[in-house]
Amino acid sequence: MTKRVLFLSIAGLMAFASGGYAQYTMDLTGVGDGANADGVYVSPYAGSIWTGAYTGGSAPTTTPVFSGAVICDDFTDESYVGDIWNASATNAGALNGTELFTTSDTTYTVQQNYDAVAWLANQLLLPANVYSGTAQTNISFAIWDIMDGQKTDPDGGATGLITSAFAAVTSGYVGTNVDVFTPAPKQAAGSNVSQEFLVVNGPTVPAPEPASAAVLGFDLLSALGIVFLVRRYRVRA
């Protein structure tokens, strides 16, 4: 797999967009133990996270703030081992609007959906589940079905897990130990540089600082410039 990115006079936009635009650099380093179903690898995958925006080239050589399991909640976009990208982050229990899924295909709210997938992410990393191909498959597809509305569960094992997740949420569960890492700049699902990932007990995500109207306006202009001036090409081996 090779990747070509055509840059058309956007260096200035990338260099001067405010720090809140991309808080982290992420690197997808592996596919866990390789469990797969229905033609796709299932979570947990392996990844590394650094603070600060990615500026191109190889992965940073500094020590990452997190290396470990990353859990995909996004069936529509694509990720490849070795991908490096920018991400913004927020806590799953306290959304701020930067997340990929800002509308709900379920009878629950967006906040309840993220709490539900956070609950499932915690279940996935339990010792009894993290190396079980069946559990990995069922929990991964439960997460995807909640967030993407994809009814792609290969064997029906996700249905009961979805019910249990929302039962936990309606009983008061909040995903405070799960952070949501959304590719930046965020685009419509299916058009992003990578998938959105959940990290359990990962790096502490800082609270967003108040921004002036001028800074917010500049960020919006930067995002528009990037969306219109960049094309991403993927060629699969």
Contacts of residue 176, Cβ cutoff 8 Å, sequence gap at least 6: 91, 92, 93, 94
Q: Given this model, what pLDDT does residue 105 score? A: 87
Q: Which domain holds residue 202?
A: 19-210
Q: Given this model, what pLDDT does residue 141 score? A: 94
User: Using an 8 Å Cβ cutoff, are 52 and 62 in contact?
Assistant: no
Domain count, the chain: 1
d(CA 82, CA 91): 25
Residue 6 lies in a domain: no
Residue 14 lies in a domain: no
Q: Given this model, what pLDDT does residue 157 score? A: 84
**How is residue 113 written in tokens?**
């959906």
Place of tokens 């982050």: 89
pLDDT digits (tens, 9 = 90+) for 9-25: 333 333 334 334 689 99
pLDDT digits (tens, 9 = 90+) for 49-81: 999 999 888 889 999 999 999 999 999 999 999
Residue 66 lies in a domain: yes
Residue 79 lies in a domain: yes
User: Using an 8 Å Cβ cutoff, are 63 and 48 in contact?
Assistant: no
Phi and psi, residue 14, nearest 5°: -70, -35
- Amino acid identity of 171? S
Residues in the chain with pLDDT values less than 70: 1-21, 150, 152-155, 206-237
Alpha helix stretches (DSSP H) within the chain: 11-16, 110-124, 127-130, 133-148, 158-170, 213-229
Residue 93 lies in a domain: yes
Q: Given this model, what pLDDT does residue 214 score? A: 38
Strands 230-235, 2-7: pairing is antiparallel
User: Using an 8 Å Cβ cutoff, are 168 and 146 in contact?
Assistant: no
d(CA 205, CA 116): 20
Residue 201 lies in a domain: yes
Q: Given this model, what pLDDT does residue 37 score? A: 87
Residue 236 lies in a domain: no
Residue 118 lies in a domain: yes
